[in-house]
Amino acid sequence: MSDPTRAAVYRGPGRLDVTEVDLPALGPTDLLVEVAFCGVCGTDLHNVLDGWGVPDSVGGHEWSGRVVKAGDDAPTGVGTLVVGSGRRPCGECTSCRAGRSGLCRQRGAVGTEKSFGAFANHLVVDAAETLPVPDGVDARSAAYAEPLAVALHALTLGAPQPDERVLVSGCGPIGAAAVAVLLAGGHADLMVVEPADLRRNLATRLGAATCHPDDLETPWHPGLTVDRPADVAIEMSGVRVAAEACLGQLADRGRLVLVGTGLDFPRLDTGRIILNELVVTGAYNYDDDGFEAALDLIASGSIPLDLLLEPETIGLDGLLDTMVRLRAGEVAGKVLVRPGI
């Protein structure tokens, strides 16, 4: 084992223990990374607050950091600023060959493996699971690459055309990322549905039209549509009633992309799906070039990171309280943890 590092260790539902842990030994293609920033994801909330996690794991997968040591065969040099880019796909299974490496058959089932993520001062990661950060992009901005890549994948699957109406349900961090990308691309016909005042205000500041879920109406007959239906609905909240409501907002041949996760599963109106020939799909992980596209978008300056990222970073000791506040909707933007403070 290598030297210990300080980390926030999951011990059970609602329990994090900030303590010293041993890092794995550095393999020939591994990197020892000093974590600069790590975002708090909805999956982290499920793992810690809802008990989805494996005890004694360390979460955190939305990270940036600088290489402080490299294995003998690692292609990345010491001092390089990198981001984590997800698991390394096999490249040979049917999903990988179809350009859907996020569904690689070699991946383990989500939440079943003990993890060592970036809610720690340092982590050891295979160089193949990282990407160098482009020149001109700082570590704080680079940490936004993972959630942005998730949003880009949802948009890839929804495939909204310039003249189509898009509904984004939920303006948490991933929803806000999708809104920012759509607006940066000039997509004008966009509606954000969000119950929390704070997050609805963020959508407004980003430049989107907004409404409260209570303002939505569902036609009484499954073959009818609302007056201004959406061609694409992207459900980001994982809330049962939100997914059910999205279905009622779609035009004929509309597409519903489910991104948010939860354990209160929706009951979708199959009559409406059939009579309007709707398409419902899930969006998991990233496009094959999702991280590269996200980093390029960040480097371009075309999305307002000053609005998307919370201005104040937190340390590991404040992580659990922040998770509770995020769950309560008391925080609008992406929260970044800075383990070293």
Give pLDDT tens digits for 21-60: 999 999 999 999 999 999 999 889 999 999 999 999 999 9
The topology (CATH level 3) of 149-282 is Rossmann fold (3.40.50)
CATH class of the domain comprising 4-144+309-337: alpha beta
List of long-range contacts for 270-278, beta carbons under 8 Å, 24+ apart: 271/222, 271/223, 272/222, 272/223, 272/247, 272/248, 273/247, 274/222, 275/222, 275/223, 276/222, 276/223, 276/225, 276/250, 276/251, 276/252, 277/252, 277/253, 278/247, 278/250, 278/252, 278/253, 278/254
Question: Hey, what are 99's tokens?
Answer: 């350009």
Rounded to whole angstroms, the Cα distance separating 115 from 43 reads: 13
- What is the pLDDT, as a whole number, of residue 109? 62
- What is the pLDDT, as a whole number, of residue 1? 47
**Average pLDDT of the residues in 73-88:** 92
DSSP at 157: H
Indicate the pLDDT class of residue 117, thresholds 50, 70 and 90. Answer: very high
Determine which of 55-69, 79-93, 135-149, 265-279 has the lowest per-residue pLDDT on average. 79-93
- What is the pLDDT, as a whole number, of residue 112? 57
Determine which of 1-10, 149-158, 275-284, 289-298 has the lowest per-residue pLDDT on average. 1-10
**Average pLDDT of the residues in 211-236:** 95
Does residue 234 contact residue 259 with C-beta atoms inside 8 Å? yes
In the chain, CATH 3.90.180.10 covers 4-144+309-337
Indicate the pLDDT class of residue 294, thresholds 50, 70 and 90. Answer: very high
| Structure confidence by residue, pLDDT tens digits, 150-180 | 999 999 999 999 999 999 999 999 999 999 9
Percent of the chain at pLDDT > 70 equals 98
**Average pLDDT of the residues in 203-220:** 96
DSSP at 80: -
State phi, psi for 234 to the nearest 5 degrees: -115, 115
In the chain, CATH 3.40.50.720 covers 149-282
| Structure confidence by residue, pLDDT tens digits, 243-280 | 999 999 999 999 999 999 887 899 999 999 999 999 99
pTM tops 0.75, yes or no = yes
Query: For the residues of 222-244, what is the DSSP string, one character each?
Result: TT---SS-EEEEEE-S--HHHHH
**Average pLDDT of the residues in 285-308:** 96
**SS percent in the chain: helix, strand, coil, step 5:** 30, 25, 45
**Average pLDDT of the residues in 57-65:** 96
Indicate the pLDDT class of residue 110, thresholds 50, 70 and 90. Answer: low
Does residue 127 contact residue 85 with C-beta atoms inside 8 Å? no
